[in-house]
A and B are shown apart, each in its own frame.
Chain A
Amino acid sequence: MSFPFSAIVGQDEMKRALLIAAVDASVGGVMVFGDRGTGKSTAVRALAALLPPVAAADAGYQDGSPRKGNVAVPFVDLPLGATEDRVVGALDLERALGAGVKAFEPGLLARAHGGFLYIDEVNLLEDHIVDLLLDVAASGENVVEREGLSVRHPARFVLVGSGNPEEGELRPQLLDRFGLSVEVRTPQALKQRVEILKRCDAFERAPDAFAETWRRAQRKTLKQIARGRAALAAVTVPDSALTFAARLCMAVGADGLRGELTLMRSARALAALDGATVVTADHIATVAPMALRHRLRRNVLDETGSTARIERALDDLALEDAAA
């Protein structure tokens, strides 16, 4: 049983990013940076428990046989130090030895299809596993050619990572794979910290009773996600919003087109969550830090944080528009 998503104190940006990813998976995953004990994994696990079920034919390992009905959204933890076998899948040893059958034992990638693949401490993940993840995340398909097996199966998932930058940085290629990135900090206000401790303690002592108190809030969040998903297709992105997004990307010097695409998609998801039908510059400004902060070209000698650079660019654009 996981901590109720709605009961998480503060951390608004992280919660918003996760909701956006829940509404539109094509945004491309969320990376959460922050110190230990700031509620990163709590929030991610809480969101998975909140999502409506999906069709069995779109989730989990697809071996080609038709599937019916609905299953819970797959949520797969990729543990640090997982072997390649566990990640991509391997020969089913149990059946090979016991029954002499050559069978494929699906790995974590297969199980995550249609859902979330969560990697805690993704910055400590070994390089050859990262290479493999990048490959599958880009192609949406897992190809296994080993031990006399030849298997390919769909593997499309929302990549959610968390990590502490003080313990090692993330490879830029992997970082670029995450649609959104957020930075979480422990709230420094005493009142908030007391509230966090009280809620965590209440949850630990009586999880069921605690979940019951938050049931209404949880249902509200669930409804918001469902409404957002339904409304997503109808939300329009006017040219003015696209121009604003492009200007912003140019102003901060975001590499590649992926920045603009993510900016547009996440602004649309945010509008859908808010119940709006048209994306405005406000939506774009709200999601800009999380969509762009990890895409700025890094200057080793420049101490200015990415978030500050984006906010400065937003201010400059607002001034330009006011003058025009």
Chain B
Amino acid sequence: MSGAGDVSSDRPAPDALWDAVMAARLCAIDPGLSGMVLRGGGEVRDAVIATLRDGMPDGAPMRRVPSHIDDEQLLGGIDLTATLALGRAVAQAGLLAEADGGILVLPMAERLSDAVAGRLAAAIDSGASRFVVVALDDGMEPDERPPTALIERLAFRVDLTEVVRWRGGEGLSPDLSARDSSTAITEADAVDALVASAAALGIDSARASLFALRAARASARLAGRDSMAAEDVALAARLVLGPRAVRMPAPSDESPPDAPPPPASDVGDEERGEPGALDDIVLAAALAALPRDILARIAAGRGRKTTRASGAGERRASGARGRPMGARAGMPGGGRRLSLIDTLRAAAPWQRLRSGTGVKIRRDDLRIRRFETRAQALTIFAVDASGSSALARLAEAKGAVELLLAEAYVKRAEVALVAFRGVAAELLLPPTRSLVRARRSLAELPGGGGTPLAAGMNAARELAQNARARGRTPFVVLLTDGRANIAADGTAVRAVAEADAEAAARAIGAAGIAAAFVDISARPRPEGAALAAAMRARYLPLPRADAAAMHAAVRAAQAG
């Protein structure tokens, strides 16, 4: 993480605003760039959207899409109220069609469901309606981001979280004349430079270079030139490639793609042996816009989880999908569907009073269907990797976690891994359903150091509570010997550490999080059982447990 700090420090906040404004101006010139994701930024974003509107043709429509819009509203369908009032089918146009040739604003884009993102992605792909998407990402956690299917199809992403104060119009009209427009370059050179930079930054998607090329062309047109110049390509690399980078460029082409990133101090080094001056300019431009958390993301494995499909967890009533549960009164829409038979049944007794020919149905008669879905289950492993848990036991714990992972994979549940050792707990694996990533982060789990039990339990509890807030059903599996010797604040005082651990255990119990306490010490002591009781967790002393036994025990606990 320290390396990431170095990279961001030479990227002051006003630059992000400048980036966003440039992105808006490029999108206005070429709507084929599809749009941008603006993370954070508050009212600054309104200024960016205003810039975009100014650049678009007069009368271009602008529509806001709520994050849980239903298909009828988005793609068009029957207008139910009008249909009932007039007694004939009345169609309504969808938002996508209405926004054709204009702007589509997505507030709270991090809450956008995968289904809506999929529809938008399909609309962008098919090109049936052309619009510029401005996704407003208000996510607080690093994990809260708009669905990848959508982000991937928008040319730009700008992080405005550091633009704390918007200073009026300053910075909103980038001084274009300041850009040196002397070095004209050929299309082929631009293509080569962009592809080389994308490859050096580990960007595999072909869309990225395609967007960069379009952005470079748009930038040339913005400056009133017919052909691209070096700074157009540099700008495109900065805006399109930089934020997508997944690794630092390797010092030379010979090193394997999986090589560890070089220290961040190499970034500004001008002496890298890259061929071609243009390539250097473009790559340097992209590096200036690296996402702040790139090193952290590289450490956590690339990409992020986007899985939101249902697994096996608590049952929840839902208006949209799942197994049928009967009907209740209400208006259809927003994913709720009309239950026709029940509606007619509700209207039947009143037909004589509502005299006339044909069936008369009123708004009060409408019945919508209810369904039952299962919330996704999330198993959180909190693993004690301290020196007191002998390394061999850690290996067994890893084995058990892998077996549980394999099962989670079949059941489509998610897993997360928290490890605690030394003085703190660390989230090694954010909730994921990917066996590949889970196995990788597990294999890299080191052992040794003190036992910050309280920190580990608190981390697991926070993760569980976050998961529950997002509709998951968490289950915490704590693997430890229960011998806390590092307090929550990192000091090595055993008495304080034990008191903190007990408090942390009670917090888990009070939060009502289902849990299992697997005591992996060679000779289980009463402290373990007491902690488990405070957690209201099932206590599983497994002194000689191997991976398979541990797996079976946790499975039984989870079922019971």
Residues of A within 8 A of B (CB): 35-39, 41, 77, 79-86, 91, 93-98, 100, 120-121, 123-128, 147-148, 165-169, 171-172, 185-186, 188, 190, 193-194, 196-198, 200-201, 204, 298, 300-301, 303
Contacts and interface: CB of A to CB of B under 8 A. Distances in A.
Contacts of B115: 79-82
24 contacts: A35-B205, A36-B205, A77-B122, A81-B114, A81-B118, A93-B338, A124-B306, A126-B309, A126-B310, A147-B340, A167-B305, A168-B412, A169-B433, A186-B204, A186-B206, A190-B195, A197-B191, A197-B194, A197-B213, A198-B191, A201-B214, A300-B405, A300-B439, A301-B399
Interface in B104-139: 113-119, 122, 125
B436 interface: yes
Contacts of B78: 93-94, 97
Contacts of B195: 190, 193-194, 197
B341 A147 contact: yes
A167 B210 CA distance: 24
A80 B114 contact: yes
A174 B12 CA distance: 49
A194 B204 contact: no
Nearest to B339: A147
Contacts of A193: 195, 198-199, 206, 209
B444 to A, nearest CB: 13
B88 interface: yes
Interface band, chain B = 35 or more
B298 interface: no
Interface string B308-343: 111100000000111100000000000001101100
A81 B125 CA distance: 17
Contacts of B122: 77, 79
Contact of B406 (A93, A168, A200, A300): A300
Contacts of B358: 100
A172 B432 CA distance: 18
B405 A80 contact: no
Contact of B309 (A124, A147, A301): A124
Nearest to B257: A188
Contacts of A85: 337
Contacts of B439: 300, 303
A126 B148 contact: no
Given A97-B83, A98-B89, A300-B402, A171 B152 contact: no
B403 interface: yes
A171 B209 contact: no
B204 A35 contact: yes
B287 to A, nearest CB: 19
4 nearest A-B pairs in the assembled complex, by CB-CB distance = A81-B115, A37-B205, A186-B204, A168-B433
B208 A96 contact: no
Contacts of B205: 35-38, 186
Contacts, number: 161
B465 interface: no
A172 B114 contact: no
A171 B412 contact: yes
Contacts of B198: 193
A155 B474 CA distance: 39
A33 B341 CA distance: 43
A37 B204 contact: yes
B149 interface: yes
A91 B118 contact: no
A35 B208 CA distance: 13
A195 to B, nearest CB: 9
A155 B285 CA distance: 53
Nearest to A301: B402
A124 B305 contact: no
Contacts of A96: 340
Contact of B409 (A124, A127, A128, A169): A169
Nearest to A173: B410
Given A127-B412, A166-B436, A186-B204, A201 B210 contact: yes
Contact of B204 (A38, A84, A123): A38
Contacts of A37: 152, 204-208
Nearest to A172: B410
B207 A190 contact: no
B307 interface: yes
B196 interface: yes
Given A148-B341, A193-B198, A167 B306 contact: yes
A300 B309 contact: no
B434 interface: yes
B60 interface: no
Contact of A200 (B210, B301, B409): B210
Contact of A81 (B84, B116, B412): B116
A21 to B, nearest CB: 22
Contacts of A190: 192, 195-196, 199
A190 B437 CA distance: 28
Contacts of B436: 165-166
B148 A97 contact: no
A124 B308 contact: yes
B191 A171 contact: no
A95 B306 CA distance: 38
A204 B192 CA distance: 18
Nearest to B253: A190
A298 B405 CA distance: 12
A81 B150 CA distance: 14
Nearest to A129: B321
Contacts of A194: 191-192, 195
A190 B122 CA distance: 29
Nearest to A41: B125
Contacts of A188: 199, 257
B359 interface: yes
Given A84-B321, A127-B412, A168-B433, 9 more contacts: A36-B148, A37-B152, A82-B115, A124-B114, A148-B341, A166-B302, A169-B434, A200-B210, A204-B214
A120 B323 CA distance: 24
Contacts of A171: 410, 412
A77 B119 CA distance: 11
B435 interface: yes
Given A38-B205, A169-B434, A196-B206, A81 B199 contact: no
A168 B340 contact: no
A171 B435 CA distance: 12
Nearest to B151: A36
A162 to B, nearest CB: 12
Contacts of B87: 98
B210 A128 contact: no
Nearest to A194: B195
B66 interface: no
Nearest to B116: A81
A196 B194 CA distance: 12
Nearest to A79: B118
Name which of B199, B309, B402 has the most chain A CB atoms within 10 A of its CB: B309
A96 B214 CA distance: 48
B402 A168 contact: no
B10 to A, nearest CB: 29
